[in-house]
Amino acid sequence: MKKQRPVNLDLTTISFPASASASILHRVTGVAMFFALVFVIWAWAVSLSSPEGFETVKSVMQSFIAKFIAWGTITVLTYHILGGLRHLVMDMGHWEELESGNTSAKVTIALWIVLAVVAGVWLWF
């Protein structure tokens, strides 16, 4: 038998370029948004059903868990929109080269982190 057989890639040792991380994050946040919609639709439906429903959602939103879910929802939506806008620019023929693509990915991720912190401050303080 051949001694040097092909091995699986160890993803933990691979350093991704920023554009690869941006792409993975886009898909992950897209899937996360699908699940986050369960929370969003529940909150919309209950809060609009009656004044009591509104008060229920208001009191639920005081808990850490609910705020954390809301923060996660806002955060994944923010990244997905930023990534979506980056794709829009790429669809128009810009940021498609290796260097500009990586730079736009880094800027997108940096902007996202800033906005995630802002959303956290807005929710908790």
Q: Which is nearer to ligand HEM, 17 or 84 (CB)?
A: 84
Residue 31 lies near ligand HEM (rule: CB under 6 A): yes
Q: Which is nearer to ligand HEM, 24 or 48 (CB)?
A: 24
Residue 33 lies near ligand HEM (rule: CB under 6 A): yes
The answer to whether residues 109 and 21 touch, using CB atoms and an 8 Å cutoff, is yes
In the chain, the N- to C-terminal Cα span, in Å, equals 64
Rounded Cα–Cα distance for residues 101 and 105 (Å): 6
Residue 115 lies near ligand HEM (rule: CB under 6 A): no
Compute the residue count for the chain.
Answer: 125
Among 21, 39, 87, 102, binds ligand HEM (CB under 6 A): 87
What count of Cα atoms within 13 Å lies in the side-chain half-sphere of residue 70? 19
Among 18, 30, 71, 102, binds ligand HEM (CB under 6 A): 30
Rounded Cα–Cα distance for residues 72 and 95 (Å): 28
Q: Which is nearer to ligand HEM, 37 or 45 (CB)?
A: 37
